[in-house]
A and B are shown apart, each in its own frame.
Chain A
Amino acid sequence: MTVAPAERPAAASVSRRVAIWLDRRPRVRLALLLAAPVGWLVVMYLGALGVLFLNSVWLRDEFTGLVSRTLSLDNFIEIATTPIYRTVLLRTVGMAAAVTLTCAVLAFPIAYFMARVASPRVRGLLVVAVLMPLWASYLVKAYSWRLILSEDGLLNWLLAPIGLRGPGQTEIGLWLVFTYLWLPYMILPLFAGLERIPSSVLEASSDLGARGGTTFRRVVFPLVIPALAAGSIFTFSLTLGDYVAPSLITTTQFIGNLIYLNFGAPNLPLAAALSVVPLLVMLGYLALARRLGAFEAL
């Protein structure tokens, strides 16, 4: 207690001097703010991606299974010349596109209701209601669908009285599961996008004689394209890289399963080269989404 008062002003004055010095130097302040986050992302993320690239141009010693650090494009040549890899890649991209499209269609009514129809109170509740399951254990949801889709599972049980059967544990079942898993990722940005449209724009359209459908097509839809693009980044990317849900639900291989198989084989270089493929696909998709204004809506 006797020391503290003597120390405090000294400490305070040091910190004050630093503060005054900093006040005059916004560039230094900025540098201090950015050092940690930028350093982290560059080293831990971009750096790791760099090492991934590096591994993809290395080879594997077949005898020992160890990585041999010889530069070579063999892995990429292998991927490009083996038809099965192309088939699987196309199937994966197709699935990602189908899931994205379905999510967009399913998300529209609820997002529109939340943004333009519901009272503020209901809107708040709905946002929480859509948000919460988004974070509830992905694995458990996928597993739950495996049970639901199985031969004597819930879906067939529900459909039996009306003489129908569910899709079972097939690609169609998986498409349903993916749509389920990523739907909230589409609803929320779309809701935000719809909410941002000023009411006056819609009124103007209606005043000018446009009917509901026309207003939707010519006014609402163009205005929410950035939000749709933003949501689609998630639905597309999450489907593209998933290997757990496919192996839980179906017998079909997706690009993630091939990466996982070769990671475990283990053929790290080939797995690395295979991961570069969805990376490139996604970079292309991001470029496209950016042109549609997705990053302003993110």
Chain B
Amino acid sequence: MSGRGARWGLIAATVGTLVFIYFPLAVVIAYAFNSSGSTSWPPAGFSLRWVDAALANTGLRDAFVTSVAIAFGASAVALVLGSLAAVAVARYRFFGRQAISFVVVFPIALPGIVTGMALSTTFATTGLPLGLLAIVIGHATFCVVLVYNNVVARMRRVSRSLEEASSDLGADTWQTFRRVTFPTVRSAMLAGALLAFALSFDEVIVTIFTAGGVQTLPIWIFRSFRLANQVALVNVAGLAAILLSVVPVYFASRLTSDTGAVARG
């Protein structure tokens, strides 16, 4: 792939792809500030009426708060479970090690509808009520891999010898973890948790099956399609959703130079 022509071709393709990736988001933003409630293109003019209406809508506000709470819960669980599994896989050789990396990826590699149906039938079969708990369990399960991948990648890059040196110098398990291991993986853990937060905040496929009546922001958006006087608000809610999932991802990628690990989510 040499030559100026090829190079310019690649640049054009890259720019084209980025435009393709971003223009639907721009459309949402344009409609969020539309002065009419109509969906025809182009928007009639600029106004903040839908933003004001969205801010006054308590249903939307409650859904937003619920989503934040769920995303916190799910990313906290994912953070603990993903980090533990990552340390085990990166630092120990044991039977079934391959199986663990496989099982961790499973919930995200299988279609969301399967995960949703599995959790939903499990709750129905055991008589447990669907709701917050079911949502958090579902989200945490497929978020584990995000933390796991980030931490494993970091630990593979950080030489084991640092930990061995710490232990040779007389540090015990806790001290080595606190002073050596943890500081090296801290930012990877945080990056993973941020990604988990963003994924949970945005998730709708599994959530619909497990919500049992709880309204998360995506479910509020989904339901709003059915409410005549709320459709225009969807774009504003969408803008909020975009911001709240994009910001954590931005910080996550700042935290880890190993961007590939993020991509592997």
Contacts and interface: CB of A to CB of B under 8 A. Distances in A.
- A/B touching: CB–CB < 8 A: yes
B198 A135 contact: yes
B51 interface: no
B141 A44 contact: yes
Interface in B35-83: 39-42, 77, 80-82
Given A48-B118, A268-B121, A295-B101, A131 B253 contact: yes
Contact of B17 (A16, A109, A278): A109
Contacts of B250: 128, 132
Interface residues of A, number: 101
A152 B111 contact: no
A37 B82 contact: yes
A106 B81 contact: no
B174 A15 contact: yes
A298 B152 CA distance: 12
B158 interface: no
A95 B176 CA distance: 51
Given A34-B88, A112-B1, A152-B41, A41 B144 contact: yes
A135 B245 contact: yes
Contacts of A183: 17, 20-21
What are the 6 A-B residue pairs with the smallest beta carbon separation, nearest first? A241-B111, A188-B263, A140-B238, A109-B13, A19-B172, A137-B241
7 contacts: A54-B125, A117-B11, A131-B259, A132-B246, A136-B242, A139-B204, A184-B21
Interface of A: 15-16, 19-20, 22-23, 26, 29-30, 33-34, 36-38, 40-42, 44-49, 51-52, 54-55, 67, 106, 109-110, 112-114, 116-117, 124, 126-141, 143-145, 147-148, 150, 152-154, 157, 180, 183-184, 187-189, 191-192, 195, 206, 212, 215-216, 230, 233-234, 237-238, 240-244, 248, 256, 259-260, 263, 268, 271-272, 275, 278-279, 282, 286, 295, 298
Interface of B: 1-3, 6-7, 9-11, 13-14, 17-18, 20-22, 24-25, 27-28, 31, 39-42, 77, 80-82, 84-85, 87-88, 92, 94, 100-107, 109-115, 117-122, 124-126, 137, 140-141, 144, 149, 167, 172-175, 195, 198-199, 202-205, 208-209, 218, 221-222, 225, 234-235, 237-238, 241-242, 245-246, 248-250, 253, 259-260, 262-264
